[in-house]
Amino acid sequence: MLTTTLPETEIDPLSAITHPDPYPYYRELAARRQFYRDDRLGLWVAAGPREVAAVLAHPDCRVRPPAQPVPPALAGTAAGDLFGRLIRMNDGAAHAPLKQILMRMLAGLDPAAAARRAAALATVLDAGAATGTPGERVNRWLFTLPVVTVADLLGLPVAEGDRAIEVAQRVAAFAAAQSPLADAHTVRAGAEAAQWLDAWLADATPGDGPLPALRQAAEGAGIGAQAVAANTIGLLVQACEATAALAGNTLLRLGRGSSHPDVSLDAVVARVAQDDPAVQNTRRFLAADAQLCGHAVKAGDAVLVLLAAASCLGTADDERPWTFGHGRHACPGERLAQALAAATVAALLARGADPAALARAFRYRPSLNARIPHFL
Ligand code: HEM
Q: Is the CB of 90 under 6 A from ligand 1?
A: no
Predicted pLDDT of residue 217: 96
Runs of H (alpha helix) within the chain: 23-32, 49-57, 78-84, 96-107, 111-124, 134-142, 145-154, 163-177, 184-203, 211-220, 225-255, 265-275, 307-311, 334-350, 355-360
Tell me if 35 CB under 6 Å of ligand 1. Answer: no
Q: Which of 56, 238, 276, 306 to mutate to test the pocket of ligand 1 (most atoms within 8 A of CB)?
A: 238
The number of the ligand 1 atom at minimal distance from the alpha carbon of 282 is 16
- Which pLDDT score is estimated for 4? 45
Does any ligand 1 atom lie closer than 6 A to the CB of residue 150? yes
Long-range contacts, stretch 3-10, CB < 8 angstroms, 24+ apart? 3/32, 3/33, 4/28, 4/29, 4/32, 4/33
Q: Does the beta carbon of 325 lie inside 6 Å of ligand 1?
A: yes
For ligand 1, atom 28, name the residue with the nearest CA.
333
Domains defined along the chain, listed by start: 15-352 (1.10.630.10)
* Closest ligand 1 atom, residue 283 Cα: 16
Cβ of 232 less than 6 Å from ligand 1: no
Instruction: Please report, for residues 105, 184, 190, the alpha-carbon distance to residue 206 in angstroms, rounded to integers and kept in the order given.
Output: 15, 34, 24
User: How far is the centre of ligand 1, averaged over its atoms, from the C-alpha of 308 (Å)?
Assistant: 15
Q: What is the mean pLDDT of each run of 10 residues along the chain (376 residues)?
A: 50 98 98 98 98 98 96 96 97 95 97 97 78 94 97 91 90 97 97 97 91 95 96 97 98 93 94 98 98 98 98 91 97 98 97 97 98 98
* Predicted pLDDT at 358: 98
Q: Whose CA is nearest to atom 15 of ligand 1?
A: 329
Ligand 1 center to 273 CA (angstroms): 13
Query: What is the CA(3)–ligand 1 centre distance, in A?
Result: 33
Question: 234 alpha carbon to ligand 1 midpoint, in Å?
Answer: 10
Considering only CA atoms, which residue is closest to atom 14 of ligand 1? 329
For residue 334, which amino acid is it? E
Backbone phi, then psi, for 39, in 5-degree steps? -70, -30
pLDDT tens digits for range 160-172: 777 899 999 999 9
pLDDT tens-digit profile of 68-123?
999 999 999 999 999 999 999 999 899 999 999 999 999 999 999 999 999 999 99
Q: Residue 290 to residues 43, 287, 301, 348: CA-CA distances in angstroms?
A: 15, 9, 10, 48
263 CA distance to ligand 1 middle (Å): 26
Q: What is the mean pLDDT of the chain?
A: 94
Contact 142, 275 (CB under 8 A): no
Mutate to test the pocket of ligand 1, among 331, 340, 344, 368 (most ligand atoms within 8 A of CB): 331
Identify the residue whose C-alpha is closest to ligand 1 atom 11. 331
Whether ligand 1 lies within 6 angstroms of the CB of 138 is answered as no
